[in-house]
Amino acid sequence: MASFSLSTPINTALLLYILYLLQRILLPRTSVPAKPHSEFKASYSWMPRAHPPTLLYTTYTPRTLAPFNGLGDAEGGGRILLAIAGTVFDVTAGRSFYGPEGMYGNFAGRDASRGMAKQSFDIEMLTPIDQPLDKLEDLTPDEIENMKGWIEHFSNKYIICGQLVENDAI
């Protein structure tokens, strides 16, 4: 049987390493280094300049959804919301698509269900905001599947921030 001896350099190094680890475990360093070692500039901060606005899940009607068209009026605050099949999405991050100058801009602040289902950007696809919600009863199965595809796309890309109900529901 081999015996332990400090006479060999490997045994001495292992003993010193074990003692060092025990010292680190039993007596951890409590002081913070005076100067952080970083490759970043002193002005670098991981904190964002401003916290994004908090979104509350809200019930919208066509009338209360309309101001969220990205035009920056006081009520909508520049946010862009649209609804598909009763689900309201905050699409502000996609301003280039859904903002006033975007190719889907006419859907901003509106129920976009019929237009998304039919792949049409025509203004006729939008139900006037003072009318009842479009029941979408005349859509074909392919159009319904197309609308469901848009809902899935929006759910993966944008924040769901509410539901759309009839004007007289709230």
Positive or negative torsion for Cα 145, 151, 153, 156: negative
| CA-to-CA dists, residue 47 to 34, 44, 108, angstroms | 21, 9, 31
The amino acid that residue 147 corresponds to is M
Q: What pLDDT was estimated at residue 18? A: 92
- Specify the range with the lowest mean pLDDT, choosing from 51-65, 101-115, 121-135: 51-65
94 within a domain of the structure (yes/no) = yes
131 within a domain of the structure (yes/no) = yes
158 within a domain of the structure (yes/no) = yes
9 within a domain of the structure (yes/no) = no
152 within a domain of the structure (yes/no) = yes
pLDDT tens string 46-58: 666 777 667 789 9
144 within a domain of the structure (yes/no) = yes
CATH number for 125: 3.10.120.10
105 within a domain of the structure (yes/no) = yes
Q: What pLDDT was estimated at residue 42? A: 57
% pLDDT > 90, the chain:
58
Mean pLDDT confidence for 109-122: 94
| CA-to-CA dists, residue 21 to 11, 14, 16, 17, angstroms | 15, 11, 9, 6
> Domain range holding 133?
58-169
Domain count across the chain = 1
Q: What is the rounded average pLDDT for all residues in the chain?
A: 86
Q: How far is CA 1 from the centre of its chain?
A: 65
Tell me the C-alpha distance between 4 and 60, whole Å: 78
CA angle at 136 for the pair 117 and 123, rounded to the nearest 5°: 60
